[in-house]
Amino acid sequence: MSETPFLVLSAILFTIGAVGVLTRRNALVLFMCVELMLNATNLALVTFSRVHGNLHGQVTAFFVMVVAAAEVVVGLAIIVTIFRTRRSASVDDASLLKY
Amino acid sequence: MIAFWLLAPVMVAAALGVLFARKAVHAALLLAVVMIGLAVLYLVQEAPFLFAVQIIVYTGAILMLFLFVMMLVGVDASDSVVETIKGQRLFAIIVGLLFGSVLVLGVAQVSVGAVVGLEAANADGNIQGLADLLFSRYAIAFEGTAALLITAAMGTMVLAHSERLKPRLSQQEMAAQRMRDYADSGKHPGPLPAPGVFARHNAVDTPALLPDGSTAELSISRVLAARGTVRSAPHLADDIEELTQHMHDDGSSNIPGRPDATPKGPLEGDPSDRRDDGEVQP
Amino acid sequence: MTTALLPSLAESVPVIETAPADGVLSLLWLIIALPALGAAVLLLGGRRADAWGHLLGVGTVAGSFLLSVLAFVSLMGRGAEERSVSQHLYTWVEAGSFTVDAGLLLDPLSALFLLLITGVGGIIHVYSVGYMAHDPRRRRFFGYLNLFVAAMLVLVLADTYLGVFLGWEGVGLASYLLIGFWQHKPSAAAAAKKAFVVNRVGDLGMALGVMLLFATFGTTAFAEISAVASEASDAVLTVLGLLLLLAACGKSAQVPLQSWLLDAMEGPTPVSALIHAATMVTAGVYLIVRSNFIYEAAPVAQSAVVVVGAVTLLWGAVIGCAKDDIKKALAGSTMSQIGYMMLAAGLGVAGYAFAIFHLLTHGFFKANMFLGAGSVMHAMDDDVDMRHYGALQKMLPVTFLTFAMGYLAIIGFPGFSGFWSKDKIIETAFSENLVVGLAALLGAGITAFYMTRLMLMTFFGEKRWDKSVHPHESPKVMTVPLIVLAALSVLGGFLLLGNWVVDWLEPVVGHAEHHELPVSPLVLTTIITLVVAAGVALAWFLVGKRDVPRVAPANVSVFTRAARADLYGDAMNEALLMRPGDRFVGGVTTFDDSGVDGAVNGTAATFAGMSGRMRRWQNGYVRSYALSLFGGALLVLVVLLAVNLG
């Protein structure tokens, strides 16, 4: 199978995730869009692994998954903490570091 | 490839759904769709281990974690559609489109050579192949990631921990506080009344009736009251009366163990209905 | 080449060959050291020295005079060819190939100057003891006077141009300090500044001249330059001559650098007598006569000297006619007489000796008259306005008599010193050039006019005194110097006895050929005397016969107005130099303020404004930052693709 469709799909998913990060205000949904981007990258990695005939891409995708897990854990804890003190899950509300 | 062409549109649609969904829970579930689609694509691309890991770890653990936090944070919180930052939406869409098109174009133009396929690499099995690499070349990265996971777990515990700001009240103190509140404001010192129970309904949404016939608001969950799905007890009683009336018109009662008797009022058990033989009318 | 065309020229320019100083001449350095030491003690000693300071001041100069007399006698005892004596003191400057030795040169020219400076200077020091008796800063005055004498002696005794420059600057400093001695008076301070600044222009010529000398000849020593002077190119020699002339103009108050001399009368009268009559202002003439080996080889420069001298002698004379301030009238006279000396010096070998002769006699009679004016001022409560004088002959008999001697000398009354010296100059002028001679003759007539006017207004006529003034004769300490100087004014002519001064100076300036006069000397002398008499008569009719108004009349002829305004010398300086300079500085200041500062501040303001606008990008929203990131990633992607696919 040609690898191009997979890569195109990966590109599309990545872009959608990126636009989602820019557009959504709810912290949780924004975080989920980030996860979408990571997943799109994983797809690309697995595709390339198949193209080159070795498992390096798959190992890397594996590591991405692990790191994404750790990242989600900490990120959600942060969101919960912010929600506890500021009673808001909107990303726009944390805008005090400005001019 | 058929799997790909079937799944790809679904995945894209679901991704767009994540982008546009109003409620966060809907977005999470749509993301789950995307992830499972990806898992299948991994399988298609000769990565069975990743297929399993994607479903178990990513969808099953990470996404569920998302859902838990959503419940904590407030599941009915929804984004307003209006964009607050000027020009953000417009530029996001423009740059996104440009980015996407450049990526797709780039990907389409680039040729990385013939697809080799993973037969040789997966010769001893995918997991063995992965393990070979993982514990030889990527051993240190592996150890590092392990340390990262531990650190992340510990960090989360620290972050999510909240200090006790007030001393823990003992039961004695709580009881005393309740008595004090009753003395000050007349707040009922006892437990909340249970909702009204009717044999024929799940009466969680039906308030209990006080001795004077009025409803007890404390017996119904606030959420249900806010939703407006609370039923009224007298209304239900009308339904039952109608039913039993129809039954007695027939002459026979379909209700087992029930002698023919006409109920006198909304509530059976009117003391004036008592017969001399002391039988209490049900 | 010059030598081949004019063999007489090379012969007439003497080369300085010196013998070492021995015997009494080994004390040559002491002549300078005494007043220098006196200055140091008086200026550094502080108030402790107030009681005896003036005596020390007089003593050091008297000691120098004694040594000068001994040196002169010693020189006289030698043969004519052995009269140049040098004393090497130490190596002053040693910078690679540039070496300057600090040494002293005693030859006939400098010996005469030594006597003049220390002799007349000593007399004036004695006079100052009385004149400055009531001044609390008298000690300091004597310190400055000693400083001046020391610097002037360095000037005339140095054997290199650089040494002369050292003395040159020293007398400039002393002049500044002494003109502005009464520093509480703004006019005195301004006059001192003016003198210094105008002198600076001249000093520039001196400095450039010294540098050019070194560049051309590799040395600044008189002896060495005199040997090789004629070998330099004509252009270089002309430039040298003009530069040294510029220096002389500054120091001797010749046109165009004459504006400071009349203002310098702000200083105490002894200062005017010593510095601005007898010695410092003659330094320019000394320089030109000393540099005769350069001027003889640069005829253009020599002509320039003649022109300067002729113009100045008329300029000073005209100014002197309209001045009511007695000191300013005498200052105008000084300017004019030095013009005569410059004229003579510019006439070449024929005139050098007469220039020096007139310098000496002028030193006598001008110092005499200045001290006499001081005596008159002392009597009239320090009033300088001659319109407030009148009929002082009876009240101040000694002053009048001594002043009269000086007056007769300056107008050239037959037999007095001035008669001999000025006549010789006019003769030499006529023998070289008719126009120059006529100018000198005219100058003599005008001199007679204004000096007679001065005498009439001061000593004769009706009393025009202020009510509070009671004129009285000055004390002996002031009148005795007057008498000495008056005697010298009368008898100074003996220097020309048997052409002595010409023969004395011949080793220094060379031998002059005898030029034929258009008329015989006796006829010329008669003409000169008649012109002088005409001047005296004119003054008698215009001033003596009429009443002198107490207040200067405003309705006067255009000539009088011009003369009162110093022939617009100050006005020209202001218009040509001061105002353009002012405007230039104003322009530069404006450029600095708005241009340079504007550019700097503008740059700062631009950056501040830019940063003020740019910081608004940091709006605190993560999503807009993410958008920027995204945009950047897009750019990187595009570049990557362009590079890889293009």
DSSP state letters, C494-546: GGGGGGHHHHHHHHHH-PPPPPPPSS-HHHHHHHHHHHHHHHHHHHIIIIISS
Of the candidates C326, C262, C318, C564, the one whose C-alpha atom is nearest the C-alpha of residue C456 is: C326
- Cβ of B90 under 8 Å from any chain C Cβ? no
CA distance B234 to B196: 11
| pLDDT of the residue at B125 | 85
**Residue B136: pLDDT band by 50, 70, 90 thresholds?**
very high
Quickly state the pLDDT bin for C499 (edges 50, 70, 90).
Answer: confident
Least CB-CB distance to A98: which of C619, C626, C630? C619
Mutate to test the interface with B, among A73, A87, A88 (most CBs of B within 10 A): A73
CB contact under 8 A, A68 and B53: no
Angstrom distance (rounded) from CA C198 to CA C254: 11
Alpha-carbon distance of C87 to C77, in angstroms, equals: 18
Amino acid at A25: R
pLDDT exceeds cutoff 50 at C1: no
The verdict on a CB contact (< 8 Å) between A16 and B148 is no
Task: Say if the Cβ atoms of B103 and A14 lie within 8 Å.
Answer: yes
- Whether residue B235 has pLDDT greater than 80: no
Contact between B109 and C645 using a beta-carbon 8 Å cutoff:
yes
Q: Which residues of C touch A99 (CB under 8 A)?
A: 615-616, 618-619
Nearest chain B residue to C625 by CA: give it.
B88
For residue B29, give how far its alpha carbon lies from the nearest alpha carbon of chain C (Å): 24
Cβ atoms of B106 and C637 within 8 Å: the answer is yes
Task: Provide the shortest C-alpha distance from residue C639 to chain B (in Å).
Answer: 11
Please give the pLDDT value at position B278.
Answer: 47
Higher pLDDT, B280 or C217: C217
Name the token pair of C35. 């007043």
Give the angle C79-C84-C85 at the CA atoms, nearest 5°: 110
C505 pLDDT higher than 80: yes
What is the value of pTM for the model shown?
0.66
Q: Which residue of C has its CA nearest to B93?
A: C627
What is the pLDDT averaged over residues C571-587? 89
Neighbours, chain A (3 or more CB pairs < 8 A)? B, C
Q: How confident is the model at residue B268 (pLDDT cuts 50, 70, 90)?
A: very low
Summarize pLDDT for B3-37 with one digit per residue, the tens: 999 999 999 999 999 999 888 899 999 999 999 99
Structure confidence at residue B243 (pLDDT): 78
Nearest neighbour of A47 by CB, restricted to B18, B45, B63: B45
Q: Write the residue in B15, B35, B108 that is nearest to A16 by C-beta.
A: B15
- Residues 6+ positions from B143 with CB-CB distance below 8 Å: none
DSSP code of residue B212: T
Residue B199: partners with Cβ closer than 8 Å, 6 or more residues away: none
Statement: residue A39 has pLDDT above 60 = yes
Q: Work out the widest C-alpha separation in chain A, in whole angstroms.
A: 53
Which residues lie closer than 8 Å to B208 by C-beta, 6 or more apart? B193, B194, B195, B196, B215, B216, B219, B233
Instruction: Say whether pLDDT at C627 is over 80.
Output: yes
Contact assignment for C630 to A95 by CB distance below 8 Å: no
Contact A5 B117 (CB under 8 A): no
Q: Which two tokens stand for residue C475?
A: 């004390």
pLDDT of residue C239: 94
Question: Would you say how long chain C is, in residues?
Answer: 646
CA neighbor of C482 nearest in space, from C334, C366, C372, C359: C372
Query: What does the pLDDT read at residue B148?
Result: 95
- How confident is the model at residue C287, as a pLDDT? 94
What C313-317 contacts at long range (C-beta under 8 Å, 24+ apart), as own/partner pairs, is: C313/C337, C313/C339, C313/C340, C313/C343, C313/C439, C313/C440, C313/C443, C314/C339, C314/C439, C314/C442, C314/C443, C314/C446, C315/C255, C315/C258, C315/C339, C315/C567, C315/C569, C316/C258, C317/C443, C317/C446, C317/C447, C317/C450
First to last CA, chain A: 53
**pLDDT level of residue B274 (50, 70, 90 thresholds):** very low
Mean pLDDT, chain B, rounded, equals: 81
Contact assignment for B106 to C633 by CB distance below 8 Å: no
Q: How far is B8 from chain A (nearest CA, A)?
A: 7
> How many of the other CB atoms lie within 10 Å of CB of B248?
13
Whether the predicted pLDDT of C336 surpasses 90: yes
Q: Which of C621, C631, C634 sits opposite B85 (nearest CB)?
A: C621
Q: Mind telling me how many Å the CA of B149 is from chain A's nearest CA? A: 6
Query: In chain B, which residue's Cα lies nearest the Cα of C642?
Result: B106
B260-264, C216-220, C457-461, range with the lowest pLDDT: B260-264
Q: Find residue C102's DSSP bridge partners.
A: C90
The pLDDT confidence band at residue B135, using thresholds 50, 70 and 90, is: very high
Question: Of C175, C200, C206, which Cα lies nearest the Cα of C279?
Answer: C175
Q: Per-residue pLDDT tens for B92-107?
A: 999 999 999 999 988 8
What is the distance of C-alpha C395 from the center of its chain? 35
End-to-end CA distance of chain B: 71
In this complex, is the C-beta atom of C616 within 8 Å of any C-beta atom belonging to chain A? yes
Of B99-103, B225-229, B234-238, C101-105, the range with the highest mean pLDDT is B99-103
Nearest to C14 by CA among C229, C158, C282, C162: C229
Q: Which of A91, A73, A94, A87 is nearest to B73 (CA)?
A: A87
- Note if the bond before A5 is cis, omega within 30 degrees: no
Average pLDDT over residues C600-605: 92
C586 to chain B, closest Cα gap in Å? 53
For residue C480, the number of C-alpha atoms closer than 13 Å in the C-beta half-sphere is 11
Task: Give the tokens for residue B122.
Answer: 């997966």
- pLDDT for A87 equals 79
B91 vs C619, C627, C641: nearest CB: C627
Average pLDDT over residues B78-85: 70
Q: Report the distance separating Cα C343 and Cα C440, nearest Å.
A: 9
How far apart are alpha carbons C206 and C165 in whole angstroms?
7
Q: What is the pLDDT at residue B259? A: 52
Q: Where are the alpha helices (DSSP H) in C180-263?
A: 186-217, 222-228, 234-252, 260-263
Give A8-30 pLDDT, tens digit per residue. 999 999 999 999 999 988 889 99
Which comes out higher in pLDDT, residue B113 or B260? B113
* Best mean pLDDT range from B239-248, C161-170, C348-357, C517-526: C161-170
* b/e code C286-313 from CB counts within 10 Å (16+ = b): bbbbbbbbbbbbbbebbebbbbbbbbbb
- DSSP category for residue B87: T
- More confidently predicted of C548 and B43: B43
Quote the distance between the C-alpha of residue B118 and its chain's center.
41
Crossing angle between the packed helical segments C283-290 and C138-157, to the nearest 10 degrees: 10
Q: Note whether B162 contacts A84, CB cutoff 8 Å.
A: yes
Percentage of chain C exceeding pLDDT 70: 98
Half-sphere exposure of B96 (CA within 13 A, CB side): 22
pLDDT of residue B81: 67
Q: Do B149 and A66 touch (CB under 8 A)?
A: yes
| Residues in chain B closer than 8 A to C638 (CB atoms) | 102
Res. C388 pLDDT band, cuts 50 70 90? confident
Residue B238 or residue C364, greater confidence: C364
| C619: nearest CA partner in chain A | A98
Of the pLDDT bands very low, low, confident and very high (cuts 50, 70, 90), residue B77 is low
Which residues lie closer than 8 Å to B235 by C-beta, 6 or more apart? none
Say if residues C490 and C409 touch (Cβ distance below 8 Å).
yes
3-class DSSP state of C257? coil
Which pLDDT does position C238 carry in this prediction?
93
pLDDT at C10: 43
Whole-angstrom CA distances from B81 to A25, B23, B89 are 9, 11, 11
- The C-alpha atoms of residue C554 and residue C346 are separated, in whole angstroms, by 40
**Residue B103 with chain C: CB contacts under 8 Å:** 637
Q: Do B105 and C641 touch (CB under 8 A)?
A: yes
Report which of C498, C483, C463, C378 is spatially closest to residue C131, judged by C-alpha positions: C378
Cβ within 8 Å, pair A22-C620 = no
Among all residues of chain B, which has the CA nearest to that of C624?
A: B88
- Closest chain B residue to A71, measured at CA: B152
A99: nearest CB among C618, C622, C627: C618
How would residue C494 be classed by pLDDT, with cut points 50, 70 and 90?
Answer: confident
DSSP, collapsed to helix, strand or coil, labels residue C187 as helix
Distance CA C140, CA C44 (A): 9
Q: Lowest mean pLDDT of B227-241, B254-268, C290-304, C538-552, name the range.
A: B254-268
Chain A residues interacting with chain C (CB cutoff of 8 angstroms): 18, 21-23, 25, 91-92, 94-99
- Closest residue to B102, CB basis, from C621, C627, C638: C638
Tokens of C583: 């405007």
Q: Kindly indicate whether the ipTM for this predicted assembly is greater than 0.90, answering yes or no.
A: yes
Q: Which of A50-64, B246-260, C230-244 has the lowest mean pLDDT?
A: B246-260
Partners of C619 on chain A (C-beta within 8 Å) are: 95, 98-99
Q: What percent of chain C stands above pLDDT 90?
A: 48
A-interface mutation test, from C611, C616, C619, C623, most A Cβ less than 10 A away: C623
More confident residue, A2 or C363: C363
Helix H or strand E segment including C93? strand C85-95
Average of per-residue pLDDT across B179-195 = 85
d(CA C80, CA C97): 35
Contacts of B92 (CB under 8 A, 6+ apart): A19, A22, A23, C627, C630
CB pairs under 8 A between B and C: 36
| Chain A residues inside the 8 Å CB shell of C623 | 21-23, 25, 91-92
What is d(CA B129, CA A8) in angstroms, rounded to the nearest whole number? 27
Rounded to the nearest 5°, which phi and psi values hold at C280? Answer: -60, -45
**Count of all residues that appear for chain B in the document:** 282
| Whole-number average pLDDT of chain C | 88
CA angle C471, C477, C479 (to 5 degrees): 55
Predicted local distance difference test score (pLDDT) of residue B265: 45
Query: Which residue is listed with tokens 């689609």?
Result: B37
Reading the block at residue C327, the tokens are 């000191």
C-chain CB neighbours of B83 within 8 Å are none
Model pLDDT, residue B201: 58
Q: Which residue has the higher pLDDT, B178 or B229?
A: B178
* Pairwise CB contact (< 8 Å): B100 & A63: no
The verdict on a CB contact (< 8 Å) between B19 and A20 is: yes
How does DSSP assign C286-338, residue by residue? HHHHHTHHHHTT-HHHHHHHHHHHHHHHHHHHHHHHT--BHHHHHHHHHHHHH
Range in A56-70, A81-95, C186-200 with the lowest mean pLDDT: A81-95
Of A11, A63, A76, the CB nearest to B141: A63
CB contact under 8 A, A53 and B120: yes
Judged by a CB distance cut-off of 8 A, whether residue B103 touches chain C is: yes
Looking at residue C2, its pLDDT comes to: 35
Nearest-5° angle of CA C288, CA C290, CA C295?
55
Q: How far apart are CA C206 and CA C173, in angstroms?
A: 15
Tell me how far the alpha carbon of residue C154 is from its chain's centroid.
Answer: 15
